[in-house]
Amino acid sequence: MNRSKHALAEQHMKEHFQLLQSDTVERTGLGIRPGNVMVTVRDYNTLSHLKWALERIDTKEQDIVVMSARVSQFGTAAYDLATEQIFSDYEQQLFTRAVSVAENFGKHVSLLVVPARDPWSAIVQTANNLESSAVVSGLSSKMTSQEQAFYLGHAWEAMPEPKRQFIFQVVRPDGKVDTFHIGPHTPSLKTEDVHLVHRLWLNITHEPGLETLHHHDILTEALTRFAREYAGRDRQEILRDLRKASGVTVTTRALGDSGDWNTTPLPAHPIETTPPSPAPANTEKPVKKKDEHDEGPPTPPVVGP
């Protein structure tokens, strides 16, 4: 009896979807506020990441957009497509479940289907057009979260300007969340790296004429020298040391093959993961000049547990 009631409720919800077809995705036309969070969905049986977002976001302050990227031969909506090509039975079931999950939280979500040849490009372009502050996805059954971030970051780099940076969060089945910054951003430094820069600063500022040196001056000089050596004769030695430090095994990859969501990619370099757990308290008290300002990385719009 319960299954019968549930089936009738789902059918009732399907009949009430209003399809609004558009050639482009525009935030103002959809009535979505900037700084929204876009949640990508593909399987109506795995919507735990949508629940995770709904638990943490106040939709009175921040909109949630549930987006499904349809990989098909129809790259755009430039032609008059049949209803089943725009909104298939599977997508009706997918969005019916998504709306049901949102209603359990008493919150509103906006629904969006984007036909595309490459889902990664569709995600970054849609997030850019909607001025999204974050994209939340579930963990792929065929990729690690680092690989998902790699392909998303590669699609972002290929997108023409102007483009916005955003946070990408992958929610694992166990509830753990991996956070990545898509686009240029301030890198997270390990505690020992911060202390190394500070020790160098303490020593160098004792040199004549360098009393007013800043920490960032040391980083600028180090990066400039690194770029020069990487472009010169020391390239292979640098790569060897970096592989040793990161534990990366050298493999080949075809970036052009990243469009298929069902393709198992080779190990990829992450864009950047969530900073590790805080290191034990250090008794060394750092010295800071009065005109120095330490600014940490921006707080993600969606905060994991």
**pLDDT of res. 278:** 43
pLDDT of residue 90: 73
pLDDT for the residue 43 = 85
Please tell me the predicted confidence (pLDDT) of residue 106. Answer: 92
Task: Give the model's pLDDT for residue 193.
Answer: 87
pLDDT at 186: 73
CA 130 to chain centre: 15
pLDDT, tens only, 137-168: 999 988 899 999 999 999 999 998 889 999 99
Q: Please provide residue 36's backbone torsions phi and psi, each rounded to the nearest 5 degrees.
A: -70, 170
Strand partners, 70: 115
Query: Where are the strands (E) in the chain, listed by range?
Result: 37-40, 64-71, 110-116, 134-138, 166-171, 177-182
> Of 168, 161, 163, which Cα lies nearest the Cα of 182?
168
Site of tokens 């997030």: 127
**Which secondary structure element, helix H or strand E, spans residue 57, and what is its range?**
none
Of 42, 17, 35, 141, residue with least CA distance to 94: 42
**1-188+233-305 is classed in which CATH architecture?**
3-Layer(aba) Sandwich (3.40)
pLDDT of residue 241: 87
Provide the pLDDT for residue 136. Answer: 95
What is the rounded distance in angstroms from the CA atom of residue 289 to the CA atom of residue 298? 23
* Measured distance CA(92)–CA(103) in Å, rounded: 16
Q: Give the 3-state secondary structure of residue 132.
A: coil
**CA-closest candidate to residue 162, choices 112, 120, 125, 117:** 125
Q: Domain residue spans in the chain?
A: 1-188+233-305
Residue 194, classed as helix, strand or coil, is helix
Q: DSSP per residue over 195-209, as a string?
A: HHHHHHHHHHTTSTT
Segments in the chain below pLDDT 70? 4-29, 72-89, 185, 248-305
